[in-house]
Amino acid sequence: MGSPNMTSVSVSFDVRRQLNSMRALGNYESVDTLLLHLLKEYRLNQIKRDSESLQESLKTIENTNVNDLIAKLDLSPF
């Protein structure tokens, strides 16, 4: 983002400049709408990764014999 000698004020100005550049390139009304869009995309990507992980887990369960599982659970002390 900048040199290691940048102060927090200069970093803030640099971040603000970069956000305004991104806002202008994406034709967003404000930096807030840009940030909301970025957060939404991030969350959707997280949900997609979680969904793929769950689908993989379901594939391993798919071949489980339910009757055998019930029988084993009946032997459980709980």
Mean pLDDT of the chain: 85
What is residue 22's predicted lDDT score, i.e. its pLDDT? 93
> Between the CA of residue 33 and those of 13, 21, 23, 42, 64, what are the distances in Å?
19, 13, 8, 14, 47
pLDDT classification of 6: cutoffs 50, 70, 90: low
pLDDT classification of 78: cutoffs 50, 70, 90: low
Q: To the nearest whole percent, how much of the chain has pLDDT over 70?
A: 83
Q: What is the pTM of this model?
A: 0.58
Q: What is the pLDDT of residues 26-63, one digit of tens each?
A: 999 998 899 999 999 999 999 999 999 999 988 888 88
Helix (H, G, I), strand (E, B) or coil at 21: helix
